[in-house]
């Protein structure tokens, strides 16, 4: 008997877990074939209650598959076992010990992991300061005290790399009382930490490693991709299947192994945050993607890697464009790189990444994954092919010609790595929920921030509630905003003011 507690229905005759099954998809199919009808939500009754204009845009099939989860397919605490079977198949497919699905993205899964490892108020967690804003939101909700671990900052490229194992060791020596370490790998730029070495350091201190692997759902399915967190010895990792896999938006999986994290606690923490009406479409797409990856992942991702490599070479040959690779990978930078993330430096064109992203959207109807003061990022997936790659290449070629007519990019005054490390004066929760006031930007230095301010993408907060603002960071935000930086979570859209602790 394997360690996966799958129902006998998804084992083949010799007791082996049958990865060709997709229990949630099968249950969804059976629900419709059996002509079941629910006098329960969702009130649209498989689409019968929506108007044609809505149906035309969204599609009748989407409504037909949107069923009451608790009555039909979600049996987390109820009948059938479809969901737990699908989760066990997922765990087995990627060689984790346990997996559970979430319908609220890695934003939920990572908060559940933080709560399960460090508890509520008074808990402490080591966290790399290049954390995503959903992690900072977790700090605000939970009242946990972050003990920040320094990422590696490339002063020339103005880019952060995951922390080194040595930096992690230093953090544990300084704060051995913390309950665990949370790192982000891959970063939104596709760069990866040395997870194995970092996990070893954590385990030496008897503490678990949580990896926010939102950008790494595909990693287990091809050996030329960076090592995925469970293989590298992490205790918990969360992935967003909609990012690098083929799930619906919000489909996320939390994987667990080892005995440093209490699984039922983790599941209960997720339950605290989860909706009671999970979307069956999201669950079922996770189930179908897992089967697809088990059966064809190597081939599909191999083709995507070939495409990305050839696209990287072609873009690199365009005048003014530099595809980043070697400069991201060296002793003092990242440990590994996901080549499907094609990060393109456009600074030789004399324009900013923001301007390029705007031009591509407006003139070629192409959206890129990320843009900053000097780069744009194109993410290649298993769905891309020669045609989509050519579309991007043609658009970049045209962009190269058009760039000469752009206005000079707004100057962004970049802080030094030291200036970016703001002093921590209060718990994020106390600063966020305490007595606050809004002050004009030039009065903000020296005050304690009461909001998070995040350039998005990539979604790494420059300011976390509880940190003392300084001149350099305020100037960075002011000049960045003027140059096209998107700051969606600032209380004042125009960023004329910042919320601070009164």
Ligand X SMILES: Cc1ncc(COP(=O)(O)O)c(C=O)c1O
With binding defined as CB under 6 A, does residue 436 bind ligand X? no
Q: Whole-number minimum distance, CB 356 to ligand X, in Å?
A: 20
Site for ligand X in 271-300 (CB under 6 A): none
216 in contact with ligand X (CB under 6 A): no
Could you give the CA distance from residue 36 to residue 73 in angstroms, rounded to a whole number? Answer: 12
| Cβ burial 211-239 (10 Å sphere, 16+ → b, else e) | bbbbbbbbbbbbeebbbbbbbbbbbbbbb
- How far apart are CB 246 and ligand X at their closest, in Å? 14
Binding-site member from 21, 111, 129, 132 for ligand X (CB under 6 A): 132
Residue nearest to ligand X (CB): 105
- CA distance linking residue 79 with residue 72, whole number of Å: 9
Choosing from 23, 146, 459, 465, the residue that interacts with ligand X (CB under 6 A) is 459
Residue 354 CB, nearest distance to ligand X (Å)?
A: 18
**Closer Cβ to ligand X, 242 or 312, answer by number:** 242
Query: CB burial class (10 A; 0-12, 13-18, 19+) of residue 121?
Result: exposed
Return the number of the residue (106 or 382) whose C-beta is nearest ligand X: 106
| Token pair recorded at residue 29 | 């199919």
Is residue 24 part of the contact set for ligand X (CB under 6 A)?
no
Q: CB-wise, 63 or 153, nearer to ligand X?
A: 153
Query: Kind and range of the H or E element at 272?
Result: helix 263-273
- Sign of the CA dihedral 120, 126, 129, 135? negative
Q: What mask of x and - would describe binding to ligand X in positions 226 to 245, judged by CB under 6 A?
A: --------------x-----
C-beta of 403: minimal distance to ligand X in Å? 28
Among 96, 193, 210, 214, which residue interacts with ligand X (rule: CB under 6 A)? Answer: 214
Choose between 141 and 406: whose C-beta lies nearer to ligand X: 141
Q: From residue 29, how far is each of 22, 129, 280 by CA, in Å?
A: 11, 45, 12
Closest approach of ligand X to the CB of residue 386, in Å = 28
Q: Does 255 bind ligand X (CB under 6 A)?
A: no
Output the smallest distance, CB 252 to ligand X, in A: 5
Quote the tokens at residue 211: 């990896």
Instruction: Count the alpha carbons within 13 Å of 271 in the hemisphere toward its beta carbon.
Output: 8
Residues β-bridged to residue 11? 17
The contact pattern for ligand X, residues 65-104, with x = CB under 6 A and - = no contact, is ----------------------------------------
Interface with ligand X, residue 134, by CB under 6 A = yes
Dihedrals phi, psi of 66, to nearest 5 degrees: -90, 90
105 touches ligand X by CB under 6 A: yes
Closest approach of ligand X to the CB of residue 232, in Å: 17
DSSP for 66-115, written as a single string: ---IIIII--SSSSS-HHHHHHHHHHHHHT-SEEEEESSHHHHHHHHHHH
Question: Considering beta carbons, is residue 252 or 279 the nearer one to ligand X?
Answer: 252
Q: For 407, which DSSP code? A: P
Count CB atoms within 10 A of the CB of residue 343. Answer: 26
Binding residues vs ligand X (CB under 6 A): 105-107, 110, 132, 134, 184, 188, 212, 214, 240, 252, 459
């Amino acid at each position: 008997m394997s360690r996966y507690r799958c129902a006998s229905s998804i084992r083949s005759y010799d007791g082996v877990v049958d990865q060709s099954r997709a229990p949630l998809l099968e249950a969804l199919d059976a629900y419709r074939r059996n002509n079941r009808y629910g006098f329960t939500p969702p009130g649209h009754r498989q689409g019968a209650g929506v108007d044609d204009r809505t149906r035309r845009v969204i599609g009748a099939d989407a409504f037909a598959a949107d069923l009451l989860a608790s009555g039909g397919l979600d049996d987390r605490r109820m009948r059938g076992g479809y969901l737990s079977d699908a989760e066990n198949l997922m765990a087995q497919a990627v060689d984790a010990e346990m997996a559970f699905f979430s319908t609220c993205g890695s934003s939920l899964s990572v908060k559940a992991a933080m709560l399960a490892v460090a508890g509520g108020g008074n808990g402490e967690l080591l966290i790399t300061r290049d954390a995503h804003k959903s992690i900072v939101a977790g700090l605000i909700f939970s009242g946990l005290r972050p003990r920040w671990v320094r990422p590696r900052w490339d002063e020339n490229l103005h880019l952060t790399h995951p922390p080194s194992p040595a930096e992690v060791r230093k953090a544990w020596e300084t704060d051995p009382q913390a309950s665990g370490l949370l790192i982000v790998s891959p970063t939104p730029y596709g760069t990866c930490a040395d997870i194995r070495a970092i996990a070893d350091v954590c385990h030496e201190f008897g503490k678990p490693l949580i990896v926010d692997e939102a950008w790494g759902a595909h990693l287990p399915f091809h050996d030329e991709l960076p090592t995925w967190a469970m293989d590298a010895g992490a205790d918990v990792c969360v992935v967003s299947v909609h990012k690098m896999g083929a799930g619906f938006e919000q489909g996320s999986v939390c994987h667990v192994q080892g005995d440093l994290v209490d699984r039922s606690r983790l599941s209960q923490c997720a339950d605290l945050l989860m909706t009671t009406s999970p979307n069956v479409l999201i669950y079922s797409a996770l189930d179908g993607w897992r089967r697809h990856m088990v059966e064809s992942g190597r081939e599909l991702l191999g083709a995507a890697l070939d495409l990305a490599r050839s696209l990287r070479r072609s873009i690199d040959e365009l005048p003014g464009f530099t595809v980043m690779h070697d400069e991201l990978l060296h002793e003092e930078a990242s440990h590994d790189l996901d080549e499907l993330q094609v990060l393109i430096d456009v600074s030789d064109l004399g324009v900013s990444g923001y301007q390029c992203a705007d031009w591509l959207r407006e003139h070629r109807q192409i959206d890129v994954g990320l843009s900053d003061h000097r780069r744009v990022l194109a993410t290649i997936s298993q769905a891309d092919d020669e045609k989509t790659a050519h579309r991007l290449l043609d658009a970049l070629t045209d962009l190269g010609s058009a760039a000469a007519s752009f206005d000079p990019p707004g100057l962004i005054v970049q802080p030094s790595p030291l200036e970016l490390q703001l002093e921590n004066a209060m718990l994020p929760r106390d600063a966020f929920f305490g007595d606050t006031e809004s002050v004009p930007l030039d009065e903000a230095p020296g005050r304690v921030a009461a909001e998070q301010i995040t350039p998005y993408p990539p979604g790494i907060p420059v300011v976390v509630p509880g940190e003392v603002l300084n001149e350099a960071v305020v100037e960075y935000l002011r000049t960045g905003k003027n140059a096209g930086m998107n700051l969606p979570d600032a209380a004042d859209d125009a960023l004329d003011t910042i919320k601070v602790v009164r």
